[in-house]
Structure 1
Amino acid sequence: MSKKSKAMNGLQYIILTILSVISVFPFFWMVIAATNKSVDVTKGTLLPGTYFLENFNHLMESDLQYFQAFKNSLVIAIVTTTLAMVVSSAAGYAFEVYKSKARDRVFNIVLLSMMVPFAALMVPLFRLFGKFNDIPVLKLIGLNTSGSVVIIAVATAFLIFFFRQNTKTFPKELIEASRIDGLGEFKIFTRIYMPTMKSTYAAAIVVTFMTSWNNYLWPLIALQSEEKRTLPLVISAMGSSYTPDYGMMMTAVVLATLPTAILFFVMQKQFVAGMTGSVKG
């Protein structure tokens, strides 16, 4: 290896190290802040303290109902992710496998929905879900219910597009062979397609769970009672107080980060494979 190549490699490592430090520093500071008093956090200390348990106890004793919000977020994220995997993957699979004259037109309409900002949909959605409360059959997805947060994330344009694009790499010979063997379309989807595309599902699960877990705007509008609030709403309320306790707030943020961090690290390899379009498990 020439001196010029060594110099270039050394420069790349230095740049990557600097970028890594910049990326990790906010998380590092968050963890450090969770172990210090609020006054130490405001001073900008970067040394770990001994007040994590005290901050945790303050969080438990507060009237924020933190763990109720944690439970609400967990239930909403799990249900949303489960339903989204079934509905969106089925839609993406159908758009790619079943051919018709109107298929591409419908799919283009679905993609166009990604261009509409959510801010433009807030008022129509609020009025629509408000009417659901007056219909007995639809009360489960009316305003101030977890269903109202789940239902709008079950089938998204991004997930349908993501599954359709990954289905292009799915060997169609498997479908034809399964049909010859007498398998119905439902069994082909559940027994052949889903196991083969588990890397794609893993990537979609990580993205959907994290999006649902961090969702703030629609729950802020739809969930109107304190016992229904999710974690982003509770953490936002902590920061909007007149004298926020930054130590307690950072403790709440650290605890709120754990589920998504654990999910990502557990499914990291499958996530990378799924995002690159691999159909291998």
Structure 2
Amino acid sequence: MYKDHKVYKWLINLSLTIVCLIALFPLISLIISSFRPSSELIRRGITFNVNISDFSLANYNYIFVQAPEYWQWYMNSLIISGLTIVLSLFFSSIVGYALAVYNFKGRNLIFLFVLFIIMVPFEILMLPLYQLMVDLQLINTYTSILLPLIVAPIAVFFFRQYALGLPKELMDAARIDGCTEYGIFFRIMMPLMLPSFAAMAILQGLTSWNNFLWPLLVVRSNDMFTLPIGLASLLTPYGNNYDILIAGSVLTVIPIVILFIFFQRYFVAGLTTGGVKG
């Protein structure tokens, strides 16, 4: 019986390893291709059938030495993603928490609106949002990129579901001790919601980092480009810089990997609890 269990466990681990390698295949091929010259990429494409002698650091040398605009795009994406994570977690958690723990008139109606907005594709909302940015004279600013992402409906829904499982007895005890409602949230409930904050930080950070369509609409100047737009601009009818594009794409993965490593200990717990509470 023990031997059968050991064989079963080994097969499970082997299967998961194979699945993991398949999932990592695009990333591995991208990293390998980033060391190849442009001529080889155009002739053979992205492939594992490569000549090691053709590998060089020329692509990365160009990015670090001769492409200052790339680092401007990188900084823009870091600033926008960082602000999106902080502001989205702050406002979305407050809204979700209020919908979960307070009984007030119209609460269910507001929650229905949140669900409705989740189901509406962003493409339908783009034109009204763009017109709003034009009317507010915010085109080609960080604010125009950030505003539609500050209160994310999916984050509100997630925090609401998570907050439904928080012990209400702690709130009553804090009120008896004279704690304000803001104090209850920031000093008592927020620490209990850390797994949900970690999960949403990863999801919101990934969404903002990869956001292409909305910044493309509201950004005009080259120095305001984010990484997805900047890298896309390398492909033009007059020249396709695939070597620089691929090397630059590899570097864009680093912040997301760091973000996941930093929050991964809470990630699974946050998703599981938020998905079953309420």
TM-score, normalised with respect to structure 1: 0.88
Q: CA separation of 1:183/1:2 partners in 2, compared to 1, >3 Å: closer, same or farther? A: closer
Q: Is the 8 A contact 1:144 1:228 kept in 2?
A: yes
What is the aligned-residue identity percentage?
36
Q: Name 1:137's counterpart in structure 2.
A: none
* Distance of 1:124 and 1:247 partners within structure 2: 38
Q: Which stretch shifts more, 81-90 or 242-251?
A: 242-251
Displacement of 1:57 in angstroms is: 2.7
Classify 1:169/1:51 alpha carbon distance in 2 versus 1 (closer, same or farther; 3 Å): same
Hey, what's the Cα distance between the residues in 2 that align with 1:263 and 1:240?
32
The 2-side partners of 1:2 and 1:198 are apart by 39
The equivalent position to 1:89 in structure 2, one of 81, 89, 93, is 93
Contact 1:37 1:246 in 2 (8 A): no
Report the CA distance between 1:89 and its aligned residue. 0.2
Matching of residues 265-276 of structure 1 within 5 Å:
265-276=261-272
Aligned to 1:138: none
Partner of 1:230: 226
Residue 193 of structure 1: which of 189, 209, 213 is its match?
Answer: 189
Aligned counterparts of 2:267 and 2:21: Cα–Cα separation in 1: 23
Assess, with a 3 A threshold, how the Cα gap between structure 1 residues 188 and 23 changes in structure 2: closer, same or farther. Answer: same
* Partner deviation per Cα, 1:41-97 (whole Å, 9 max, x = no partner): 342453565422x11232346567110011111111111111111100000000011
Give 5+ residue unaligned stretches, structure 1.
134-141
- The answer as to whether partners of 1:59 and 1:252 remain within 8 angstroms in 2 is yes
Is contact 1:64-1:234 (8 Å) kept? no
Change (3 A) 1:144 1:14: same
What is the match of residue 57 of structure 1? 61
Q: Counterparts in 2 of 1:239-250, with a 5 A limit? A: 239-250=235-246
Q: Partner residue of 1:131? A: 135
The answer for the alignment partner of 2:31 in structure 1 is 31
Question: Quick one: structure 1 residues 123 and 56, their matched pair in 2 at CA, closer, same or farther if it must change by over 3 Å?
Answer: same
The TM-score, its normalising length taken from structure 2, stands at 0.89
Q: CA–CA distance in 1 between the matches of 2:233 and 2:63? A: 13
- The residue that corresponds to 1:164 in the other structure is 160
Q: Distance in 2 between matches of 1:156 and 1:249?
A: 30
Looking at structure 2, the residues matched to 264 and 6 of structure 1 have their Cα atoms a distance apart, in angstroms, of: 31
In the aligned structure 1, how far is the partner of 2:249 from the partner of 2:230?
10
Q: Secondary structure at the match of 2:240?
A: coil
**Mapping for residues 185-224 of structure 1, pairs under 5 Å:** 185-224=181-220
Q: Larger deviation: 63-72 or 188-197?
A: 63-72
Q: Displacement, 1:12?
A: 3.9
Count of paired positions: 269
- Alpha-carbon deviations, 1:178-228, whole Å to 9, x = none? 010000011111111111211111111111111111100000001111111
